[in-house]
Amino acid sequence: MKVLVVGSGGREHTLVWKLTQSPRVERIYCAPGNGGISKLAECVDIGANDMEGLVRFARESGIDLTVVGPEDPLVEGIVDRFEEAGLRVFGPKKNAAILEGSKQFTKDFLTRHGIATAAYESFTDPEAAIACIRRQGAPIVVKADGLAAGKGVIVAQQVDEAVAAVEQIMRAKRFGSAGDTVVVEACLVGEEASFMAFTDGKTVVPMLSSQDHKQVLDGDRGPNTGGMGAYTPAPVIQERTAEIMDAIMVPTVRGMAEEGRPFSGVLYAGLMITGDGISVLEYNVRFGDPEAQPILFRLKSDLIDIIEAILENRLHECRIEWTKGASACVVLASGGYPGSYETGKEITGLDAVPDSDDLYVFHAGTQKSGGRIVTGGGRVLGITARGTDLASTLGKTYDAVNRIHFEGKHYRTDIGQKGLQRD
């Protein structure tokens, strides 16, 4: 089987790594890939959003299956385009990917189906949004409606901060057309966690519980990022899987089907666990990044078998197995991320962290340059390990973190600490 993975980040490196373990896969391509992916797959110079280029390549190369990593092409309808061309592709169609593509749609959907979420209002007029903020007071949350690479959510502790967020999103167009509409919602207080599941539109099978670390600085301070690290299992929701499935995941899949938007692929719910229960903060329509790294690191089953069961609407027949223990991922980022940062910094020490069954360096923003690996993005590497328990796993992860260097290297030192405190 020839497989094409679309994307260039740490999630895509993890997908390629996992797919190489399938005896059914003979060759993997990745478009466009990165410096680390090139060791496992043939990278092709086609952008993740170049649908026609990707379709043409898949046809000409005899690709049997395409796995789409990032959200942008999914929201833009890459699955529909591939299916129209008679090509097998894994991910939700455009009308289902709107769960991530529009926060306003998602909030309205949650309300229609009685799924717990924070109170909110949506606005296309910045003055009306600002009036709402002044009326409600702070803390308050301001969200750009569309895709913003994980950076379009501002949790404002002061009214002036929330007003400034509206100005940046709606008037300064910091996120382009994604900010034509904003959602202003109540600020829930609690602990965040990530919950992903496989679904073929009818059957829903949960993955391992996990917890992401969105803010750039220790102690959940600073601006939101695409994610600075993750670990599994997450004790805060570990024993509440049945509750989350019954109250959130299954009703979401059922509700999408009822509305003529059948959802097939990976459904990710960003959750807030409060004293009053569990509420949905957002949905993603693909593997989380960096949650994919520790979760797929513990997947024993052949990912190809799972994907085919989903594509053939027989997920109920698929038995999914996981390794015991824990796993964690710590992201090494460029200095200045998620703001402006420089690229082209040489990465050293990779040879000091040899790949093994329980430790792997997944590349996110890297490039090859004259035989060297250099930085090429905001999130550069995802150091991922697994072990018998969370404490030993984190020790192994941070030991590897300290062996790798590049100018401006930044990382959080507290990944997984909430889990340790609950153990």
Question: Residue 56: CA atoms inside 13 Å, Cβ hemisphere, count?
Answer: 8
Cβ neighbours of residue 256 closer than 8 Å, sequence gap 6 or more: 96, 99, 109, 201, 262, 263
Residue type, 391: A
Q: Tokens in use for 419?
A: 């889990």
Per 3-state DSSP, the chain is made up of helix, strand and coil in percentages (nearest 5) of 35, 30, 40
Residue 20 CA from chain centroid, whole number: 21
In this structure, are 179 and 205 located in the same domain?
A: no
Classify strands 42-43 and 27-32 as parallel, antiparallel or unpaired. parallel
Angstrom distance (rounded) from CA 411 to CA 230: 12
Q: Is residue 331 part of a domain?
A: yes
153 beta partners: 143
Angstrom distance (rounded) from CA 266 to CA 280: 16
| pLDDT at site 370 | 87
Residue 403 CA from chain centroid, whole number: 26
Angstrom distance (rounded) from CA 47 to CA 420: 40
In this structure, are 330 and 401 located in the same domain?
A: yes
In this structure, are 294 and 225 located in the same domain?
A: yes
Q: Collapsing DSSP states into helix, strand and coil, what is residue 174?
A: coil
In this structure, are 203 and 173 located in the same domain?
A: no
In this structure, are 331 and 402 located in the same domain?
A: yes
Q: Is residue 103 part of a domain?
A: no
Going 366 to 367 to 371 to 372, the CA torsion angle's sign is: negative
Domain that holds residue 143: 119-186
Q: Is residue 100 part of a domain?
A: no
Angstrom distance (rounded) from CA 47 to CA 73: 10
Q: Tokens in use for 391?
A: 């404490």
Q: Is residue 114 part of a domain?
A: no
Give the dihedral of Cα atoms 399, 225, 278, 75; nearest 10 deg: -120
Q: Tokens in use for 146?
A: 């569309």
In this structure, are 254 and 197 located in the same domain?
A: yes
**Closest by alpha carbon to 240, among 106, 422, 417?**
422
| pLDDT at site 354 | 87
**Closest by alpha carbon to 229, among 73, 372, 390, 346?**
390
In this structure, are 162 and 231 located in the same domain?
A: no
Q: Is residue 108 part of a domain?
A: no
In this structure, are 204 and 177 located in the same domain?
A: no
Nearest-Å Rg of the Cα atoms of the chain is 20
Q: What is the DSSP letter of 380?
A: E
CATH number of the domain bearing residue 354: 3.90.600.10
**Closest by alpha carbon to 96, among 266, 235, 272?**
266
Q: Is residue 39 part of a domain?
A: yes
In this structure, are 199 and 181 located in the same domain?
A: no
Burial class (CB in 10 A: 0-12, 13-18, 19+), 60: exposed
Angstrom distance (rounded) from CA 406 to CA 366: 11
pLDDT (tens digit per residue) in 74-84: 999 999 999 99
Pick the last residue of a domain from 164, 186, 208: 186
Cβ neighbours of residue 358 closer than 8 Å, sequence gap 6 or more: 385, 386, 387, 396
In this structure, are 15 and 56 located in the same domain?
A: yes
Q: Collapsing DSSP states into helix, strand and coil, what is residue 42?
A: strand
Q: How many distinct structural domains can be found in the chain?
A: 4
Going 286 to 288 to 293 to 298, the CA torsion angle's sign is: negative
CATH number of the domain bearing residue 170: 3.30.1490.20
The helix (H) or strand (E) run that includes residue 310 is: helix 303-311
Pick the last residue of a domain from 151, 186, 221: 186
Q: Is residue 107 part of a domain?
A: no
CATH number of the domain bearing residue 278: 3.30.470.20
In this structure, are 239 and 312 located in the same domain?
A: yes
Q: Is residue 354 part of a domain?
A: yes
Tens of pLDDT along the chain (423 residues) come to 999 999 999 999 999 999 999 999 999 999 999 999 999 999 999 999 999 999 999 999 999 999 999 999 999 999 999 999 999 999 999 999 999 999 999 999 999 999 999 999 999 999 999 999 999 999 999 999 999 877 889 999 999 999 999 999 999 999 999 999 999 999 999 999 999 999 999 999 999 999 999 999 999 999 889 999 999 999 999 899 999 999 999 999 999 999 999 999 999 999 999 988 999 999 999 999 999 999 999 999 999 999 999 999 999 999 999 999 999 999 999 999 999 999 999 999 999 998 888 999 999 999 999 889 999 999 999 999 999 999 999 999 999 999 999 999 999 999 999 999 987
Angstrom distance (rounded) from CA 316 to CA 403: 44
Residue 371 CA from chain centroid, whole number: 30
Pick the last residue of a domain from 186, 203, 219: 186
In this structure, are 213 and 311 located in the same domain?
A: yes
Between CA 303 and CA 264, with CA 41 as vertex, the angle to 5 degrees is: 35
Phi-psi region of 341 (alpha: psi -120 to 50; beta: other; left: phi over 0): beta
